[in-house]
């Protein structure tokens, strides 16, 4: 009887662990705008859905000397951009979109211009879920989103 109870308890623990591992963070629609020659900064955008509450704490990429999480807001009729010191909160099950004019990834010290049709790796690091690499597709200059046909047929790796 006791061994049967231990077997049931062990099965429940294993099932719970397996269920927790199946809920991975989804990073989708990672894109950036093409930049003119000589530009030293750029922006990248993406949508994140986490099955559990987490926080995006940092980003990095080999195409820039530095990548930071930033936000833009209107203050007194002036657009202000600031780093997000504490990262980006990810409520459980709710999509969070980093987009032009709001929260975004700021690429500082670009090593070369970003050209429409190319792609580059971006490492996103989460407080609980750790790091993963996504592929960012480069859209035309001035693009406002990934689904407007601006990026050709570039796939986004999840």
User: Strand 130-139 vs strand 26-33: parallel, antiparallel, or unpaired?
Assistant: parallel
**Which tens digits make up the pLDDT trace of 73-85?**
888 888 888 999 9
pLDDT for 23: 65
**Which tens digits make up the pLDDT trace of 105-139?**
999 999 999 999 999 999 999 999 999 999 999 99
pLDDT for 3: 52
Domains annotated for the chain, with CATH where assigned, are: 23-139 (2.60.40.1890)
**Which tens digits make up the pLDDT trace of 26-68?**
999 999 999 998 999 999 999 999 999 999 999 999 999 999 9
Higher-confidence residue of 144 and 88: namely 88
Half-sphere exposure of 92 (CA within 13 A, CB side): 5
pLDDT for 2: 52
**Which tens digits make up the pLDDT trace of 108-117?**
999 999 999 9
pLDDT for 105: 98
């Amino acid at each position: 009887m006791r061994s049967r109870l231990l077997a049931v308890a062990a099965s429940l623990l294993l099932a719970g662990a397996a269920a927790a591992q199946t809920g991975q963070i989804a990073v989708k629609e990672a894109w950036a705008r093409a930049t003119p020659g000589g530009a030293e900064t750029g922006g990248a955008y993406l949508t994140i859905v986490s099955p559990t509450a987490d926080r995006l704490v940092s980003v990095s990429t080999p195409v820039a000397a530095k990548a930071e999480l930033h936000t833009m807001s209107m203050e007194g009729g002036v657009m202000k951009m600031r780093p997000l010191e504490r990262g980006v909160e990810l409520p459980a099950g709710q999509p969070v979109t980093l987009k032009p004019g709001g929260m975004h990834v700021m690429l500082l010290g670009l090593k070369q211009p970003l050209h429409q049709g190319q792609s580059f790796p971006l490492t996103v690091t989460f407080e609980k879920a750790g790091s993963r690499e996504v592929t960012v597709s480069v859209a035309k200059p001035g693009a406002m989103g990934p689904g407007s046909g601006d990026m050709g047929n570039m796939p986004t790796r999840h």
